Amino acid sequence: MGKGTKYVAKVPDENGFIHYTDEEHQIWHELITRQRKVLPGRACAEYIDALELLGLPDDRIPQCGEVSRVLRAHTGWEVAPVPALINFTDFFNLLANKRFPAASFIRSREEMEYLQEPDIFHEIFGHTPLLTDPRFAAFTHAYGKAGAAARKEDRPMLARLYWFTVEFGLIHRHDEGLRAYGAGVVSSIGETIYALDSEQPQRKPFDPLDVLRTPYRIDIYQPIYFVIESFDTLFEVAQMDLLGLIEQARELGMHSPAFPPKEAATA
């Protein structure tokens, strides 16, 4: 947040409709078609079921209103179209009011494989399905309320909790094995395969204090993933004093980064 972007937000018309070009619809089609092929056996059952429940079209970019209708019926959430980048205050306030901010642009064909900032495909395909799950929705709501009440210096630490769960979380159960649920994993064909199949990253049992002490980088495949056993775990975290956890994490001290400094990175 706060960084520049080359993308321009799509502004809804007076009826709340966002107009996309044929090429933008085609990019959506290509992205969703290939992700649907790679996710079976890799995304968790809750995500697969929620994706089917959402009924996203393959041939066009869905409108936020049609996604919101499904979310409202199940958990009371809705989607709010926003510019490519918003600040922490706006982000937390939207989540605190059960409104998920969705960047309204879609990536260019030159950045099909990797996009640092979130686009409409990442937001809608990656994030919104699980907002139909009451446990996941409760966690996201609690996170937003905590962020809205947090001090400025606490917000970057709180962002780690979101990063290692909502964005890049994994889940392991006896009936399925290791699966993905985080939006940054399920919306990226490269990270889907890397997160689940590669021997390179660490996969650590989820512990909120451990998560809050772990640095991350946004421009690389993750060297560390945290693994929950059930979405009940996230619901339990939603009942905790998240700002109090930040103070405990700060007292324990931060972990050393598991990645090289950005300027020294080669990948």
Q: Which of 46, 117, 167, 191 is catalytic?
A: 167
User: What token pair was written down for 224?
Assistant: 């560390």
Q: Which of 24, 46, 127, 141 is catalytic?
A: 127
Is there a catalytic annotation at residue 167? yes
Q: Which of 68, 104, 187, 188 is catalytic?
A: 187
Is there a catalytic annotation at residue 122? yes
What three-state secondary structure class fits 10? coil
Which residue's structure tokens are 């799950």? 133
Task: Measure Cα distances from 93 to 24, 75, 79, 100 in Å.
Answer: 29, 18, 13, 10
Is there a catalytic annotation at residue 127? yes
The helix (run of H) or strand (run of E) holding residue 128 is none
Q: Which of 46, 104, 117, 122 is catalytic?
A: 122
Which residue's structure tokens are 């990656």? 126
Which residue's structure tokens are 């939006």? 183
Q: Which residues contact 179 (CB under 8 A, 6 or more apart)?
A: 42, 43, 44, 45, 47, 170, 171, 172, 173, 196
Q: Catalytic residue positions?
A: 122, 127, 167, 187
